Structures are given as C-alpha cells and as structure tokens.
A and B are shown apart, each in its own frame.
Chain A
Amino acid sequence: MGFSFFIRGPVWFFGIDGVFEGLAFIVALLLAIYAYRAYKLTHDKRFSLYALSFLAITLGQGIRAVTDLLMHSNLENELPYIAFLPHLQSTPLLFTAGYFLHILFMLLGLMILSCYAMKVKDIKVFCVMAFSLLPLMLLVTSVYLAFHYLGLLFCAFIAYSYWKYWCTKKIRPTCLVFIGFLFMALSYVQFLADTVFRVLYISAHLTQLAGYLCLLAALFMVLRK
C-alpha cells in the first residue's frame, strides 16, 4: 500500500505539488504577519484570531510542502517503518506524522475562520468542534476523504459568509477574498473526486493555488492604500 492514501496523480507531478504548497505557505504567512501587525497596532482581538488562523494554515501548508518534497526524494527508503495504526502499516512514521500535522493545522485554521465567519464568540463552540473533529482524523479509515470533505465544508461556509458580506460592501478586495475561498472549496471537491479520476489531483492543486493567489491579490490591493 505504501503512501497511497496520500499519493495521487501522475508521477511527473510529484515534487511540483510540494512547490504549489510552498507558494500557499508564503501567501498564508504574509496574511498571518499582516494580521498580527494590525493586532500589535490596535490590540484588537479580532486581528489576533485572524492571525492565529492563518498561522495554523501556514504551518499546515509548510509541513505538507516539506513532507511532499521529502517523500519524492529517496529518503523514504532509509527511514524506519513504524506503524501506529493498522491501516498505515507500511508508511514511514515521518511521512505519516507530516500528513497528520498538515491535517491538524489546516483544520484548526479553517475552524477558527469558520467560527469567525459565524460570529461565534463562545470558545466552547470552537472546543466542541476541535475535540470532536480532530480525534476523528486518527480513527477514520479514509483520512484523505474525511479531511478533504471537512475542508470543503469549512471553505464553502467561509466563502458563503464572504459572499454575503460582499453583497453589502461591494468592494473589489472582498470579492477577491470570496473568490479565493470559493476556489479553495472547489479544490477540495476535486481532491475528493481524484479517487476516481487521478488527473483531478493536478487541477485540485492548481485551483487551490488560484485561491491563495486571490487572497494575496486582495492583500496587495489593501497594502497599496
């Protein structure tokens, strides 16, 4: 079985996926840094939560990029094979840990953004989400499908919230943010479908990158002011 539960797409794309994730890492990091600087200036908690969410996404994308790039080198032949879950018995611990950390941080970041979009002020709601969904990632038999399904739900909800907000504000950067999260939601649809059509793994990465680039464009439009 090897790494098949995370390895998708044609062989020539291996490594390129790591580069795409690296670009997503950079975009998320820029957003986290700007939100944190806004928090330092205003001491407004909204900015600190936003910074935290994008920091989690930054870590998630960074870990995934490194894991993907390492996996496509020859390193996997030299690492100890240690299984801690029955359905991962032939997967090196390093790569398993890398993908699980990627899932953990991505879900944390998207959960914080979703709570923000829902205007949830009670931390107990976030805790219920976190404590119910995150351990499930260790228990489901198809981590890949479960993670991408949850990613789709969160991104779709965040996109919908931004669409509603854009309907009232009608400013270009907000439209870009809405489109960005919409692209991310669409990328998760493609990740789910690539179990049937492997080529969708490539288009999923392209769509996700387009989403992050829309967020970057929105940030640049703001910084030009």
Chain B
Amino acid sequence: MRRSKQDIIFDMLRAIQQKGGSIKPTHLLYKSNLSHQRMKEYIDELKQRGLVKEEQQKEKNMFLLTDQGYEFLQKFQQLKAFTEAFGL
C-alpha cells in the first residue's frame, strides 16, 4: 500500500530515533526505502520544519533528530488516528 507523505516522514524520523537520535545519510536511505532524490527532498523539508538537523560528527555528515522531531514522533500516532477517524 502506498505510503502517505506523513507516513514517510514518520518512517524517516523513527529510523533516526532507532539509531539513537543520529544516523548516517546512507543508512537513512536504506531505512526510508526512497530514491536518493526523493530522500533529499524529504530531508530538505524536514530540515526546514526543524524536525531534523545536519551536523558533522567525527568528520562524517550525520542527520540528528531535534526536540521538535521527537515531539512529532510522540504525537504522530494520535495524529494518524485523527486523520483516519475524520477521513482527512
């Protein structure tokens, strides 16, 4: 079944959370099951919304989950239930 945009965002953020809050771009690419171009588009949106930030750790680029990103993950289940219940 095709994932909605919110489902993809949730999957990406959960993948980062499961890796302890930071993840390499390559790992995120595998976990999110997206093409490189699409993942880049989503990452840009997540960075713009403040859910994810990019940092250098030990000379490697890493994506980190922000506080807002953790909050989104917590509220997502409720949001998904609301979306399903009210047909949004």
List residues of chain A with CB under 8 Å of any chain B CB.
Answer: 34-35, 38, 41-44, 46-47, 50, 117, 161-162, 165, 169, 171, 173-174, 176-177, 218-219, 221-223, 225
Contact = CB atoms under 8 A, between A and B. Distances in A.
A23 B71 CA distance: 31
B82 A171 contact: no
Given A41-B72, A42-B6, A47 B88 contact: yes
B84 to A, nearest CB: 6
Contact of A50 (B6, B78, B88): B88
Given A41-B75, A42-B6, A44-B6, A34 B87 contact: no
A170 to B, nearest CB: 11
Interface in B33-88: 49, 71-72, 75, 77-79, 81-88
Nearest to B80: A225
Nearest to B49: A43
Contacts of A176: 85
B86 A218 contact: yes
Say which size band chain B's interface belongs to: 10 to 19
A42 B79 contact: yes
Contact of B78 (A35, A162, A169, A225): A225
Interface of B: 5-6, 49, 71-72, 75, 77-79, 81-88
B6 A177 contact: no
Q: Which 7 A-B pairs have the closest CB atoms?
A: A173-B85, A225-B81, A222-B81, A165-B87, A222-B82, A46-B88, A225-B78
Given A41-B72, A43-B49, A44-B6, A50 B77 contact: no
Contacts, number: 50
B6 A174 contact: no
A35 B72 CA distance: 15
Given A42-B6, A43-B49, A44-B6, A222 B75 contact: no
Contacts of A173: 81, 84-86
A53 to B, nearest CB: 11
A47 B49 CA distance: 17
Contact of A222 (B72, B78, B87): B78
Contacts of A42: 6, 79
Contact of B85 (A43, A44, A177): A177
A117 B72 CA distance: 27
